[in-house]
Amino acid sequence: MTTPITNRYEFVLLYDVENGNPNGDPDAGNMPRIDPETGYGIVTDVCLKRKVRNYVELVKGDATGYRIHIKEGTPLNQNNAAAYASIGLSSGAKVDIGQVNSARQWMCANYFDVRTFGAVMTTGDNCGQVRGPVQINFSRSIDPITQQEVTITRQAVTRVEDVDKERTMGRKHIVPYGLYRAEGYVSARLANDPSKGTGFSEEDLALLWEALANMFEHDHSAARGKMATRKLIVFKHESDLGNAPAHLLFDLVKVERKPEVVVPRSFTDYGVTIRRERLPDKVDLIEMV
């Protein structure tokens, strides 16, 4: 957790879902998220970050430096108060900018997700704001998806007054199959800026790659169906500022449905082409998965 990163990175993540709901939309009865104009599936950035957080917590537990700030059952202000206590301040104390920065640095040092994705920590005890060096775009499916609503039955009933009924009905929402693409960024400058850097390190970076490759393996449920990381392609720049525009690097990775496939049902129905011959100078391409 101490070796600072000195290179900029971009990455392309391909993952798929079979008979599951990768990211329900609460504004649409928890149906799989979809772009209403094009029919392409969408998965939000916070959905993927949640899976990364869950994986890190599973692997690291409550180890020093790898705690998770944003998680179920833990009020955020409680963590802010812990930061104040660690630097000798009482909760609710009036603080100056230097003390806020000290609290911010403590939060970055102790919480992996703050150090990685950033956080707004100004509610309750003010611990400042952190702009995280790792950012992920919304995922988008390679092809339009089918939102399918499946009616299910349950042998038991919920309410005592319904005891005479034989069963109750319910619904599940699934995507029969969808391949999704997400793109992300890792900034060495945001990790190591002398005044605002988070301290995101080479060790943190290795854990991030591990989480992106394995986060679905420990997230299985009946609702999400079968989900898996299929490809993780990383572009490593020689410098911390970068040696090529991110969008040009993303364009080197082409994912297309095979011509003979009418309705894709598996990852093998797609072809992934990486145009290595167009890779700019001073940029390395690494296939993690």
pLDDT in tens, 107-152: 999 999 999 999 999 998 999 999 999 999 999 999 999 999 888 8
Backbone angles phi, psi at 141, to 5 degrees: -70, 155
Strand partners, 208: none
Strand partners, 41: 34
Residue listed under structure tokens 């945001």: 190
Strand duo 9-20 + 226-237: pairing:
antiparallel
**Cα–Cα distance between 182 and 230 in angstroms, integer?**
12
The amino acid present at 255, given as its one-letter code, is V
Supply the pLDDT for residue 151. 84
Cα within 13 Å of Cα(33), Cβ side:
15
Global confidence as pTM = 0.93
**Cα–Cα distance between 230 and 211 in angstroms, integer?**
13
Supply the pLDDT for residue 193. 86
CB count in 10 Å sphere of residue 145: 24
Strand partners, 274: 253
Supply the pLDDT for residue 1. 54
Q: Domain-by-domain residue ranges, the chain?
A: 9-61+130-287
* Under-70 pLDDT residues of the chain: 1, 166
CB 289 within 8 A of CB 230: yes
Closest CA to 205 of 29, 52, 19: 52
